[in-house]
Structure 1
Amino acid sequence: MTRRSRISDIAEAAGVSIASVSKALNNRSGVGIESRERILEAAARLDYRHKTTELTEAFPSGLAVVTTAALYLNSKFYEGVIQGALDAAREGGVDAKVHLLTPDIETGSVNVENLLGADGACLLLVGLDHPVLIEQVARSHAPAVIVNGIDRTMRLSCVLPDNRSAGWLATTRLLSEGHTEIVHVSRLFRTSLKERFDGFRDAMQEAGIAIDTDRHLFDLTAAGILEPDLSNALIDAMQKGRFAKATAFVCSNDIMALGVIDALRARGNIIPRDYSVVGMDDISIAQHSTPALTTLRIEREELGRVGWDMLKERALNAEARVRRVGMSVRLIERGTVGPPRHYLRAQ
């Protein structure tokens, strides 16, 4: 029996990438006119059947979107990412389900076979890059892509915001106003958050400012603090004299930024007259704070859609190259950044 033509066959015949074939067949932008014509001609010549049938066969158990209950319930960021992936999969005619795992995922105690199902589902791992889980998934040979995480062994494809650039952009914005005493607020327990700190450090060092972690970093993980306790912890630290010279804070997410603003207000300060604050992610509440939060926007739904596209590529072609895609971020100017007050700098 003759094997049915697949996207990989069209790509080879037309001399283009699988991603280009997918875009042309689905009438999406990003493919030149000549390449599109070659792709469509090759598809007709190879008697290619359209995507719905092929995707259904490539995803026999559908799409399994996997994250932890804690990440999903505690972060508006992941809600948008997951919705983007679900919408894209269903537009392609593929059944998609969300699996909310217990925190045991942090120790690697996960039964990957249960996630895959009898027919072998394809996995979109959202915010999950624990080395033990990556090892289990890689050994299963299931098509899998990590969204907002990194496989440092380069066995699983990943898509995530350019976190280092995000940290650099946020810090550069404050530096442009004349701030030099800037505190980075974060929880440095994941690679993505560490990269945001790396971007902060890059910008500070480029400005000739040597990083002193006691003066320039408030790491909640190292201090044993969770986000809901940030405001009280920062108030306590500042009452004890820490960050006495600070004029600005750059935070690794918007929830932390809003916690910082609450702490500063509790001490009688006005934003941005007395302190400037920049967040990251641009979750919906950021524009409704008072004043509205200046932040770095990450297109969360698009992040999920790109993750789906990469997983589709992997499901349709087991030999597809592992890729790591960094998506752009954008500064959203609102009302929490201004020049440093001279009396604060003098202190």
Structure 2
Amino acid sequence: MTRVATLAEIAQEAGVSAPTVSKVLNGRADVAPATRERVEKLLRQHGYRRRGGDTRTSPLLDLVFHELDSSWATEVIRGVENVAREEGLSIVLSESAGRLTPGQSWVDGVLARRPTGVLLVLSRLERSQQEQLAGRGIPFVVLDPAGDPGQQVTCPRTTNWDGGLAATRHLLDLGHRRIGLIGGPARMMCSRARADGYRAALDMAGIAYDPELVRAGDFHHEAGRRIGVELLGRPDRPTAVFAGNDLQALGLYEAARELGLRVPEDLSVVGFDDLPLARWVGPPLTTVRQPLTEMAEVAARLVIDLARGARPAALRVDLATTLVERSSTAPPREAAGTVGGGSVEPW
């Protein structure tokens, strides 16, 4: 049998003290990043695993978002909370200030807390960060990953491509042929998938893809308004727009109002998410429902199962989207008309 190196031997090889190696093993934050990385690498090389009391975890789920500024996040938190309450776990909520990859200070905090598991939403971990969590026996799940999470990472997600296809097909079935798209950030997989679904629907209908009608947004209200003013101000403006998410759809409503256009008489709008507010705006928003709460519940149960040593039946879990038809879409007028010619309806 191969002998496992002692902490003293690892410390000597790393050029640090044995207490420093112990701090790294215990997830202490008071270790310089370069030192931590060097010790972590040696621990992995020597196949060192914590034993005895070092395997204890806290009854916590770490939930991290890249941004926490919309009711989208609220629906995800609700789903995680449903499962955490049943399991007697508490939630530690973090935001990475718009970065898709959390910083090392967040990783240090997780290692110090030793939670039952970690859930990352629209985020990703660097390979070294994944190895740090794995080295402490802390499982993680990525909910709707921002980028390619790797082949061995468990990822619940929604059928974004199908949703983009359904949204665009709905507008095509109503008779629209000039259909715009306000997508999300190109760096996010969900944005690309929805845009690919949009383009596939046009292709299946024999409609030429027009890049002049496509813009990348950021999933925020103001982007929908700003890009909406740009698209709707064109002489050959679209008669319908797939807004990519509900917040951008509401921004598009505001752009139409500024330009004197009515929804749906002059412009049909489809969103994505089906947030609670979608049914209460005027007119109620046609949108693609993604089951955010259910998706979060699935993610929470998966990470708890991983913590208990169970292997998931599948690493990719796709939850279906559904088109919800409301009053923001209608057949197009025979002529698009001119901007500023319509009356403004109260919203």
TM-score category, normalised to shorter length: 0.7 to 0.9
Structure 1 residue 108: Cα displacement? 4.7
Structure 1 residue 297: Cα displacement? 1.3
Structure 1 residue 124: Cα displacement? 1.1
Partner of residue 151, structure 2: 154
Partner of residue 281, structure 2: 289
Partner of residue 301, structure 2: 309
Q: Is the 8 A contact 1:59 1:315 kept in 2?
A: no
Partner of residue 163, structure 1: 160
Structure 1 residue 117: Cα displacement? 2.8
Partner of residue 193, structure 2: 195
Structure 1 residues 306 and 295, CA, compared in 2 at 3 Å: closer, same or farther? Answer: same
What does 1:93-242 align with in structure 2 at a 5 Å threshold? Answer: 93=88, 95-103=89-97, 105-106=99-100, 108-111=102-105, 112-117=107-112, 119-129=114-124, 131-132=125-126, 135-141=128-134, 142-149=138-145, 151-187=148-184, 188-215=186-213, 217-220=214-217, 227-239=221-233, 241=234
Q: Is the 8 A contact 1:169 1:331 kept in 2?
A: yes
How many aligned positions are there? 279
Q: Structure 2 CA distance, aligned partners of 1:168 and 1:272? A: 20
Q: Structure 1 CA distance, aligned partners of 2:56 and 2:181? A: 43
Q: Does 1:334 align with 2:331?
A: no
Q: Is the 8 A contact 2:232 2:238 kept in 1?
A: no
Matched to 1:144, the amino acid is F
Q: Structure 1 CA distance, aligned partners of 2:220 and 2:338? A: 32
Matched to 1:103, the amino acid is A
* TM-score normalized by the length of structure 1: 0.73
Describe the SS at the equivalent of 1:170: helix
Structure 1 residue 98: Cα displacement? 2.6
Q: Is the 8 A contact 1:122 1:144 kept in 2?
A: yes
Q: Structure 1 CA distance, aligned partners of 2:312 and 2:290? A: 27
What whole-Å deviation, never above 9, does each CA across 1:302-333 have from its counterpart, x for those lacking one?
Answer: 11110112112211226556611110111111
* TM-score normalized by the length of structure 2: 0.73
Structure 1 residues 275 and 155, CA, compared in 2 at 3 Å: closer, same or farther? Answer: same
Judge which range, 170-179 or 100-109, deviates more.
100-109
Q: Structure 1 CA distance, aligned partners of 2:251 and 2:163? A: 20
Q: Is the 8 A contact 1:246 1:345 kept in 2?
A: no
What whole-Å deviation, never above 9, does each CA across 1:29-58 have from its counterpart, x for those lacking one?
Answer: xxxxxxxxxxxxxxxxxxxxxxxxxxxxx9
Q: Is the 8 A contact 1:145 1:156 kept in 2?
A: yes
Describe the SS at the equivalent of 2:61: strand
Structure 1 residues 179 and 316, CA, compared in 2 at 3 Å: closer, same or farther? Answer: same
Structure 1 residues 162 and 237, CA, compared in 2 at 3 Å: closer, same or farther? Answer: closer
Per residue, is there more helix in 1 or in 2? 1
Structure 1 residue 300: Cα displacement? 1.6
RMSD: 2.6
Aligned partner (choices 59, 62, 66) of residue 59 of structure 2: 62
Matched to 1:137, the amino acid is Q
Q: Is the 8 A contact 1:151 1:158 kept in 2?
A: no
Structure 1, unmatched stretches of 5+, are 1-57
Describe the SS at the equivalent of 1:65: strand
Q: Is the 8 A contact 1:182 1:246 kept in 2?
A: yes
Matched to 2:92, the amino acid is V
Matched to 1:302, the amino acid is E
Matched to 1:214, the amino acid is E
Describe the SS at the equivalent of 2:277: helix
Structure 2, unmatched stretches of 5+, are 1-54, 340-347
Q: Structure 2 CA distance, aligned partners of 1:303 and 1:260? A: 27
Structure 1 residue 120: Cα displacement? 4.8
Structure of greater Rg: 2
Partner of residue 42, structure 1: none
Structure 1 residue 193: Cα displacement? 1.1
Describe the SS at the equivalent of 2:263: coil
Q: Structure 2 CA distance, aligned partners of 1:313 and 1:59? A: 16
Matched to 1:166, the amino acid is G
